[in-house]
Structure 1
Amino acid sequence: MRAVVGRKLGGIQDLRIEDIASSPLERGTIRISVRAAGVSFANLLFIAGKHQNRPSIPFVPGTEVGGVVSEIAPDVRTNLKIGDQVCAGLPSGGFAEDTVVDADNVFKIPDSLSFAGATLFPTIYATAYAGLKWRANLQPGETLLVHGAAGASGLAAVQIGRAMGARVIATAGGDHKLAAATEYGAHHAIDYQKEDFRDRVLAITDGRGADVVFDPVGGDVFDNSLRCVAPLGRLLPIGFASGRIPHIPANLVLVKNLTVIGLYWGFYMAWGKSKADAAMRGKVRTLFQEMFALYDGGQLRAPIERTLPLSEFGEALRCVERREVVGKIVLMP
């Protein structure tokens, strides 16, 4: 099969398209013929060896795919069958013509959902939904502040926050990105390049601040969020696209009764050493059913900016690196 292969840690320039053997079908796994593979900032961290999941050499990047079930291991008990259209989340291996995935992390998609759109659900929508519902317990009528709101993670949080009944404030850079955040459901959009989002958030909320902050950016953005979050507020650091992991001043957490809530979606998908139990697996499956129902109900729209052939993986990754993408860019093997 054709795949994007890295034979050392580094940058985009160190990846190559190669013909390699398909991965063996192991116990508890399903083989998927990949029709679409999502491209994300996490891929850049992965190929540089800076992600939580450090790759073995050689490696194939890619953590979110849409495709067709082509083979099921004999020990797998599942309602899925050969030919079903699915999405799947995996620690690596998505930038290829086929991939092998833990059966528990493969989900049948609605007929209305394209393969490209399906790539947003295994990690992007799932992270936003689990973060806002499970971890932050976002309530109707609360104010949600979403940073990086024109990226795939940000637009997912904007849509899910709106669907959960929150008032959504989005931050992004530039008119085009602000327009996208508004189009996908933000009640207020702030251009952080032109104004201090802290002051605007406080003005919008009559000085109270945001109840929940969804932050895939980190760095200075997280620092300033601490100063415009409401008492008893909850902050969700879900990534550090700025490149700086912030240090949290405990005095602010104390005096404002704040809760800082971690969320690593790979834990729920059992990508690391800690394996999710059966109850957690069931909870994850219910989450996907709820997300697909929101999609079919028109409350979620998978924002795909561009699709490119697998051979143009370099251009796709560079677009993400340059922060040019509004929504998602997807490779089509």
Structure 2
Amino acid sequence: MSATRSACRTIMKAIRVTQFGAPEVMKVDTNLTVPKPTGNQILIKVSAAGVNPVDTYIRSGNYARLPVLPYTPGSDVGGVVEDVGSEVKKFKKGDRVFTVRTDTGGYGEYTLADSTLAGVLDDKLTLDQGAAIGVPYFTAYRAVVVLGNAQKGETILVHGASGAVGLACVQIAKARGLRVIGTAGTQEGLDLVTSLGADVVVNHRGDNYTQSIIEACGGSGPNLTIEMLANVNLEKDLQMAAPRGRVLIVGSRGTVEINPRLTMGKELVVRGVMLMGSTAEEWEEMHAGIRDGMSAGWLKPHIGRTYSLENAPQAHDDIINTKGATGKIIIKI
């Protein structure tokens, strides 16, 4: 057996970032030591790693909490447990798993993760799909259910539904009996959102698209809005919302000026979503919801594009500059 496939392997390759900046600061290092799990950690042999917009904000240095340099990016992986720490009870070597966060970075052949932020991957799903669960589905569940308090029979607008988080919101909302309106910017995106269960799809690059959404709501607007790009869309969300509607902000790439009076007459609630602000009880609730989704079969991550480890810089460029998101971008290890 070759050294690269040996169970006793001690050297690995991974992306390393030695300075914050453009995508090109990510370099492949082929001479890193495979870390050892301690305490509540598990060591995962990574099959694929998910790429999230937040990865690009951190890499560029434009994020509130930055890692110590050098570091390896990546929170979401799908892989197989290689070893476990002394305090780990729910995982064993050979388990197929996904992560919501890693301790040593996901863009590499091995990673350490806190076992409380990992889950067993259902046999219905591939390891590639495992890399598409973590941040998208847990963020979506937190936005729609935990903070958004979605109720059966309500209408939800997923404003930017063709990306990984948006598609997860569509699936979660449909599973909970909501009527789903999803927007996308390309026909491919609209078709994808439709295929995953949205009741109405609207091109958010079209003229008067907000009027189409209001009409689809019977004139009253959505009860719940999940917003992926608040710096562009927040004022429109407030204008469209139903009385006492809730707007949950998942993503924003800048500032926006709005008229606060838009929130007053309809008594709207605007709330931000930050996954890593979850309490222990909320993590348990989200894990349970994700397990139920895998078991029931409605949780079906859609892989958009796949990149090699060497092409991670291109993956980072594409996830920010694409003109129409269609599912999750992953790096195949």
TM-score of the aligned structures, taking structure 1 as reference length: 0.90
The DSSP-based 3-state class of the residue aligned with 1:231 is coil
Rounded to whole Å, the distance in 2 between the matches of 1:48 and 1:24 is 29
Count of aligned pairs between the two proteins = 319
User: 1:49 touches 1:55 (CA, 8 Å); kept in 2?
Assistant: no
The DSSP-based 3-state class of the residue aligned with 1:62 is coil
Q: 1:146-168 CA distances to partner (integer Å, 9 max, x unpaired)?
A: 11111111111111111111111
- Residue 83 of structure 1 deviates from its aligned partner by 1.1
Rounded to whole Å, the distance in 2 between the matches of 1:24 and 1:246 is 45
Rounded to whole Å, the distance in 2 between the matches of 1:28 and 1:79 is 10
Q: Once superposed, what is the RMSD of the aligned Cα atoms?
A: 1.8
Rounded to whole Å, the distance in 1 between the matches of 2:272 and 2:187 is 31
Q: 1:84-113 CA distances to partner (integer Å, 9 max, x unpaired)?
A: 111112266110111111121121111111
Alignment correspondent of 1:246: 256
Is 1:8 matched with 2:24? Answer: no
* Pairing of 1:183-198 with structure 2 (within 5 A): 183-198=195-210
Rounded to whole Å, the distance in 1 between the matches of 2:217 and 2:285 is 34
- Residue 180 of structure 1 deviates from its aligned partner by 1.1
User: 2:231 touches 2:256 (CA, 8 Å); kept in 1?
Assistant: yes
User: 2:132 touches 2:330 (CA, 8 Å); kept in 1?
Assistant: no
- Residue 248 of structure 1 deviates from its aligned partner by 5.4
Alignment correspondent of 2:299: 300
Rounded to whole Å, the distance in 2 between the matches of 1:122 and 1:261 is 22
Is 1:231 matched with 2:243? Answer: yes
Sort the Cα spacing of 1:33 and 1:47 in 2 relative to 1 into closer, same or farther, 3 A. same
Rounded to whole Å, the distance in 2 between the matches of 1:286 and 1:212 is 20
Q: 1:302-327 CA distances to partner (integer Å, 9 max, x unpaired)?
A: 10123232222123223212225410
Percent sequence identity over aligned pairs: 28
Is 1:68 matched with 2:80? Answer: yes
Rounded to whole Å, the distance in 1 between the matches of 2:257 and 2:88 is 45
Alignment correspondent of 1:40: 52
Q: 1:240-289 CA distances to partner (integer Å, 9 max, x unpaired)?
A: 1xx22335543222221111122211122xxxxxxx44xx2xx4234323
Rounded to whole Å, the distance in 1 between the matches of 2:271 and 2:135 is 18
Rounded to whole Å, the distance in 2 between the matches of 1:72 and 1:249 is 53
Is 1:206 matched with 2:206? Answer: no
- Residue 206 of structure 1 deviates from its aligned partner by 2.4
The DSSP-based 3-state class of the residue aligned with 1:16 is strand
Question: Which of 262, 265, 275 is 1:255 aligned to?
Answer: 265
Alignment correspondent of 1:313: 312
Letter in 1 for 2:80: V
Is 1:181 matched with 2:197? Answer: no
User: 1:47 touches 1:55 (CA, 8 Å); kept in 2?
Assistant: no
- Residue 137 of structure 1 deviates from its aligned partner by 0.8
Alignment correspondent of 1:332: 332
Letter in 2 for 1:13: E
- Residue 24 of structure 1 deviates from its aligned partner by 4.5
Alignment correspondent of 1:289: 288
Q: 1:176-235 CA distances to partner (integer Å, 9 max, x unpaired)?
A: 111111111111111111223321121112221110000111112111111000111001
Question: Which of 151, 156, 173 is 1:139 aligned to?
Answer: 151
Rounded to whole Å, the distance in 2 between the matches of 1:73 and 1:247 is 49
Rounded to whole Å, the distance in 2 between the matches of 1:29 and 1:294 is 25
Letter in 1 for 2:91: L
> What 5-or-longer segments of structure 1 have no aligned partner?
269-275
User: 1:88 touches 1:122 (CA, 8 Å); kept in 2?
Assistant: yes
Moved more, 319-328 or 210-219: 319-328
User: 1:33 touches 1:97 (CA, 8 Å); kept in 2?
Assistant: yes
> What 5-or-longer segments of structure 2 have no aligned partner?
1-11
Letter in 2 for 1:108: V
Alignment correspondent of 1:54: 66
Alignment correspondent of 1:118: 130
The DSSP-based 3-state class of the residue aligned with 1:224 is helix
Rounded to whole Å, the distance in 2 between the matches of 1:286 and 1:81 is 23
The DSSP-based 3-state class of the residue aligned with 2:14 is strand
